[in-house]
Chain A
Amino acid sequence: MKILVIGHGELPKVLCETAEMIYGSVKDIHYLCFESHQNIEEYMADLKTMIANSHEVLVLADILGGSPFMQMARLSNELKEQVQIEIVTGVNLGMLIEVLSQKEIKTLTELRELAKQTGCQSITDLKTWMKR
């Protein structure tokens, strides 16, 4: 299964590199950066190249509604007969590390749910956390 991190600027690249620094290197983790004045059609073509030959892809996008997300949504619909694609938004470090650690042993749907759960669990505050 392929993991693809997408988002604005260098966020995808830096997030992947940071996750690797913490967790170690994992196979089939990819990222695609969307630079501020990049042409959308060009970006779409790059996205397509990255996933067209895969069977299953879990896409982790930086933010719902942004251009990377919108293009990916469009592409996932276009390719729905050929590639199984799940798109989770709001990617954070906790989410990504969990996905890296579980990708070989979970199905695409399970991984999608795990990504959302772990992403949310990553968000807390110290006082609340210490009271638990």
Chain B
Amino acid sequence: MPIVLARIDERLVHGQIITSWVKHLLINRIIIVDDKIARDEFMSQVLVLAAPNGIHVEIISVNDAVTTLKQTPKENVLILFKNIEYALALVKAGVDIKDVNIGNMSSAPKRRTISRNVYMSNEEIAIAKELADSGVNVYLQMLHTDAKLDILKSI
């Protein structure tokens, strides 16, 4: 069972969106890759508690994720990123990720509208392009019932 979904979602694990993906893809393990949150013991605890029932959630740094993902996981894994830079870091470190779903990035001062749920800055767009150039299929899709939109066609 490989990585069934690698997704960028600023809201991370809580909410109906993640629950819907978990049910749709029969996910039983969520790995949040984020150096900043991994260092924050309190927020790591809160996030683990906020996850859907029965799902194993861990919050680890990029380096730890590279080690963990060296062996193909036995479970159906969802890798979640709050920041697209960590997705790129993981791909650059050689982790086998073929698709990256950009689900939700909220509006912010330096960001412009890409889609209803995705706002990106120039730096973030450059990262998405770099991912796409390295062979990763980067696409927009908020819910599994939505159509997938190729990022290169949307920016």
How many residues belonging to A are interface residues under a CB distance threshold of 8 Å?
14
Cross-chain contact B14 with A38 (CB below 8 angstroms): no
A41 to B43, CA, bound (A): 15
> Which residue of A39, A40, A42, A70 is within 8 Å of B50 (Cβ)?
A70
Contact with B along A24-64 (1 / 0, CB 8 A): 00000000000001111110000000000000000000001
A64 near B108 (CB under 8 angstroms)? no
In the complex, what distance in Å separates the CA atom of A1 from the CA atom of B85? 42
A66 to B42, CA, bound (A): 17
The reply to whether B14 and A70 contact each other, CB–CB distance below 8 Å, is yes
Give every chain A residue within 8 A of B94 (Cβ-Cβ). Answer: none
Task: From the candidates B10, B46, B107, B108, name the one contacting A73 in the complex (CB within 8 A).
Answer: B46
- Which B residues fall within an 8 A CB radius of A? 10-11, 14-15, 42-43, 46, 50, 106-109, 119
Please tell me if A74 contacts chain B, counting CB pairs below 8 Å.
yes
- What are 11 residue pairs bridging A and B, where the CB atoms are less than 8 Å apart in the complex? A39-B106, A39-B107, A40-B106, A65-B14, A65-B50, A66-B14, A66-B15, A67-B14, A73-B43, A73-B46, A74-B43
Q: Would you call A67 and B11 a contact (CB within 8 A)? A: yes
Report the bound CA distance from A74 to B107 in whole Å.
20
Given A37-B106, A40-B10, A67-B11: 6 more A-B contacts, CB < 8 Å: A40-B106, A64-B50, A70-B50, A73-B46, A74-B43, A77-B43
What residue in chain A is nearest B111 (Cβ atoms)?
Answer: A39
Q: Which residue of A lies closest to B42 (CB)?
A: A77
* Docked CA distance A73–B46 (Å): 8
| Interface contact A65-B109, CB-CB below 8 Å | no
